[in-house]
Structure 1
Amino acid sequence: MLTRLREQIWADWIWFPEGHGWADLTDHDGKVFPKIQDLWAIIPIALCFLVIRQIFERTVALPLASLMGIHDKQRVHAPTNPALESYFCRTSKHPAQSSIASLSQETGCSMRQVQRWFRRRRNQDRPSKLKKFKEASWRFTFYLLAFFGGLAVLIDKPWFYEMKLMWEDFPKMPLLPSQYWYYMIELGFYISLLFSVASDIKRKDFKEQIVHHVATIFLIGFSWLVNYIRAGTLIMLVHDASDYLMEAAKMFNYAGWRKTCNFIFTVFAAVFIFTRLFILPFYIIHTTLVYPQTLYRPFLGFYFFNGLMLVLQCLHIFWSLLILRMVVKFLPGNDIVEDERSDKDETESEDEAEAHGDGEKLKNGHVQNGHALLNNNHSKAD
């Protein structure tokens, strides 16, 4: 029964145009073709990326951050309070005014003190600027190397200039060693991003990022299985073309280099929109969605591949709107670019002063006030 089900799932008519099938991908006459078992290599590659990243952040990113003047900022931690902690973890990190009043009565704290506690508690969970910088520098390094590596793989290929040639002799195009390593490295990196998702910074578009990573993995993996290698390498190159610029802009943003950040971000916005809203849909997707229908009758694998492409394109439109909103924000006032997807620290003037003092102590619902500023009802921060 399992054998029959497997045969039906991998039937030639599902994944290949009429007249072609898996037999076309059998090695012969010294020609090598992609195989499903090749994809096992991405697991050790992904694990290697996780190890390399830890080494990179300690030996390269950390000294670079110090050189650029980026250090962990000391934060005032919220004092221990079981009732407020329970509400924070189980109910909401942003309590409504009515809930604040209720918590104030329950703990014996003033409403202002409850608000201050939640503000500090939220700040504790937010990643530090140093952590953001290390993550951005790691991704910058990979995307930069991946882009120029991909460019080296494709620069001498005829389908890089005439994209219709990606379908020439399909699916009997032999696999080149450079294409093999380009695929394995890219897939391994995206798998490593899924492995590290729990520890990485969670931005406002966290769900969209997960969808993007999963769609990209399925897209690259599927294109490998059915030998859409030429299309896959072009898609990966287009994605890497702008990503390293965004990470570079983040790095200078965290360092406070305003003009450099704004310049790089402007270049990134132009490259992102040009590659993902022009080249990708009007050249690559057109060549994978429209042109093949002049050569073959559409089949299930054709719809599956292009469906994933359209999912990515929708995400590109979403991110383009965020990028344009950021550009509009900083151009008139020449302010520093803020990542629209990041949470920002909620600051208050007394918090910084209390970083060197005792602060208030909330224990078991009772207030022990050890700093005069906490009794100031006219504090501007509140």
Structure 2
Amino acid sequence: MELLPDVWRQEYWLPPGVTWRDMEQLEESDRPRPHDLLIALPLALGFVALRYVFERFFAPPMGRCLRVKKRLQSDVVSLMSLCGKTQRQIERWFRLRRNQDRPCQTKKFGEAAWRFFFYLTAFMAGLACLIDRPWFWDLRECWRKYPFQPMERAHHWYYMLELGFYGSLLLRISVDIKRKDFKEQVIHHLATIFLLSFSYCANYIRIGTLVMLLHDSSDILLESAKMFNYGTGWRKTCDTLFVVFAVAFLVTRLVIFPSKIIHTTLVLSMEAFEPFFGYYFFNVLLMVLQVLHIFWAGLILRMVYKFLKGKLEKDERSDEESEVEEEDDDKGGKENMDQGEDYCWNKSKNTINSQLSMLTNNCVLNNLTNHRASVADRMRKAQ
């Protein structure tokens, strides 16, 4: 119990020579208070409920507009005519036998659409409340008169909404589709929550709002590219969005973020105060995000290489190629655009193909058995 008061020691949260009593010179509504973070808990639950409604009622119509289809639809139709079974019976067999970890396109589209609309809304709201602020144009303004900087209500709710959203992602992490970078995503969400919580309590709000705005800008392009990737007939749109996203990600995360944001917190902040625990803790969290940026940049560059390689191969193709080969090439190109989001489709495809073969063989054997029985019965009658 004695450790709890030590957490709020002023040496951890405030620059040397500043006490909590000094912070009281700000108006009650103008200074961030730690218990304000409790607002993020009901907001996180609210985002979970709102996401359920969105994916249940709004995402399916959007998916139909983009012609998002479930996999194996054509296989189901062919098996219906081959086996003499109803569509419901075939789909039920697939639900029982196919790889349960393989998510359907409509579910992936719903998750991408939800994140797209949140990032778009958060970016537009953040830009509206920051575009006319002096620290948006001059980063030295982030530290002028720190920590005695009044907090605006718009920035308070900007923080709470972002914190509630990332909290909802953690609440849903056990039921969401697991990606290849699942562990990195968990680390990113935790680092972001710690970063937002600490920067709010330590009144790092000005630089914190810039960090959130910078990250949301490229996330919009990523989720929109995924949405068109899951659709049918949007290959060129998906390719264009992916290229724009790759450029935006590399510029914002590998150029602007370290050269502007991290440089501001490491160097320019020293013009306003001496280093203290919060200074080191905040910068360590920013470094964790930067390491994750480098990791994801490597994945993106590898996909760009595959994407360009696929383009070159496509340009060199003969006009006499079959439509089946062209469809396979289209699927391969779209999978390269998925930013490593799914489990390996080739492995899943082999599994499903083997299951299709098993089902087909069963149907053929059943038909052959019935045919032989019918022939034997007719022969007995003839004798």
Matches for 1:28-47 after TM superposition, within 5 Å: 28-29=26-27, 32-47=30-45
Report the CA distance between 1:341 and its aligned residue: 3.3
Which amino acid is 2:19 matched to? G
Which amino acid in 2 is paired with 1:315?
A: L
**Hey, what does 1:185 align to over in structure 2?**
161
Match in the other structure for 1:309: 286
Identity of aligned residues (%): 47
- 1:222 — aligned with what? 198
Distance in 2 (CA, whole Å) between partners of 1:132 and 1:150 is 27
**Bigger Cα displacement from structure 2, 29-38 vs 264-273:** 29-38
CA distance in 2, matches of 1:10, 1:357: 64
3-state DSSP class of the match of 1:347? helix
Corresponding letter in the other structure for 1:59: F
Q: Alpha-carbon deviations, 1:215-264, whole Å to 9, x = none?
A: 00000000000100001100000110100100111111111411111100
Any residues of structure 2 matched to 1:236-247 within 5 Å, and which? 236-247=212-223
Match of 2:340 in 1: 340
Q: CA deviation at 1:19?
A: 1.3
The 5 Å alignment of 1:1-382 reads 2-3=1-2, 5-26=3-24, 28-29=26-27, 32-74=30-72, 123-256=99-232, 257-334=234-311, 335-336=333-334, 337-345=337-345, 346-348=348-350, 351=353, 354=356
Aligned to 1:100: none
Q: 1:122 and 1:350 mapped to 2: Cα distance?
A: 6
**Contact 1:27/1:33 (CA < 8 Å) preserved in 2?**
no
CA apart distance, 1:357: 5.2
4+ residue segments displaced more than 6 Å: none
CA–CA distance in 2 between the matches of 1:44 and 1:242? Answer: 27
Counterpart code for 1:237: L
State the alpha-carbon separation in 1 of the partners of residues 146 and 178 from structure 2: 41
Amino acid at match of 1:43: L
AA partner of residue 159 (structure 2): Y
In structure 1, distance between residues paired with 2:250 and 2:362: 50
Q: 1:369 to 1:347 in 2, by over 3 A?
A: farther
Structure number, greater radius of gyration:
2
Q: 1: distance between equivalents of 2:152 and 2:281?
A: 25
> How far apart, CA to CA, are the structure 1 residues paired with 2:36 and 2:357?
54
| SS at 1:123 equivalent | coil
The one-letter code sitting in structure 2 at the alignment partner of 1:278 is V
Q: How far did 1:28 drift?
A: 4.4
- Give the Cα–Cα distance (whole angstroms) in 1 for the partners of residues 305 and 97 of structure 2: 32
User: How many angstroms does 1:68 deviate by?
Assistant: 1.6
Q: CA deviation at 1:24?
A: 3.4
Aligned residue-pair number: 322
Q: Which amino acid aligns with 1:8?
A: D
In structure 2, the residue corresponding to 1:183 is in which secondary structure?
A: helix
Greater shift, 5-14 or 181-190, is seen at 5-14
| Further displaced range: 18-27 or 253-262 | 18-27
Instruction: Please give the TM-score of this superposition, normalised by the length of structure 1.
Output: 0.78
Label 1:236 to 1:198 Cα distance change in 2 as closer, same or farther (>3 A).
same
Q: Alpha-carbon deviation of 1:14?
A: 2.3
Shift of 1:69: 1.5
The answer to which of 340-349 and 324-333 deviates more is: 340-349
- Structure 2 gap ranges (5+): 77-95, 312-332, 369-383
- Measure how far apart 1:32 and its partner are: 1.8
Contact between 2:199 and 2:282, CA under 8 Å: does it hold in 1? yes
Deviates more, 1:287-296 or 1:131-140: 287-296
Q: Distance in 1 between matches of 2:208 and 2:281?
A: 14
- 8 Å Cα contact 2:146-2:272 kept in structure 1: no
8 Å Cα contact 1:12/1:20 also seen in 2: yes
Unpaired segments of 5 or more residues in structure 1? 78-119, 362-367, 373-382
Deviation track 1:257-297 (CA, whole Å, cap 9, x = no partner) reads 11111100111111111111111110111111122223322
Deviation per residue, 1:78-102 (Å, 9 max, x gap): xxxxxxxxxxxxxxxxxxxxxxxxx
Give the alignment's Cα RMSD to 1 decimal: 2.7
User: Matches of 1:238 and 1:10 in 2, distance apart?
Assistant: 30
Contact 1:357 1:371 in 2 (8 A): no
